Amino acid sequence: MGEADAQLMLRQALSMVRICRECGEDVIFGEANARNLTFYDATYTACARWLGHPLYTRDGDILKNCPDIAHAISDA
């Protein structure tokens, strides 16, 4: 991945962190239960779904349990 792509992903991630506060606890709880994720991981997947963005990660549980939104960073 080039530096420009990495910077773009970082900017998108940082904007997501600010917005994640608006994702309700009930949504995160539901995501964790439905996808067999920790609440920590479910926070990121729920926010990505809420925003309609793909989620690039190295986390194996997220990649395995959320193939509809999760993509390996190496695939970017």
Q: pLDDT 10s per residue in the chain (76 long)? A: 677 877 777 677 666 666 566 677 888 889 999 999 998 899 899 989 988 999 999 999 999 999 999 999 998 7
- Residue in the structure block whose two tokens are 């964790």: 32
Q: Could you tell me if residue 71 is left (phi over 0), alpha (psi between -120 and 50 degrees) or otherwise beta?
A: beta
pTM of the model: 0.72
Which tokens sit at 4? 């420009």
Q: Which residues pair with 70 in a beta bridge?
A: 55
Q: What is the pLDDT of residue 2?
A: 77
**Residue 49 neighbours by CB under 8 Å, 6+ apart:** 31, 69
Q: According to the model, what pLDDT value does residue 12 have?
A: 73
Backbone angles phi, psi at 22, to 5 degrees: -85, -10
Domain coverage including residue 38: 3-75
Tally of domains within the chain: 1
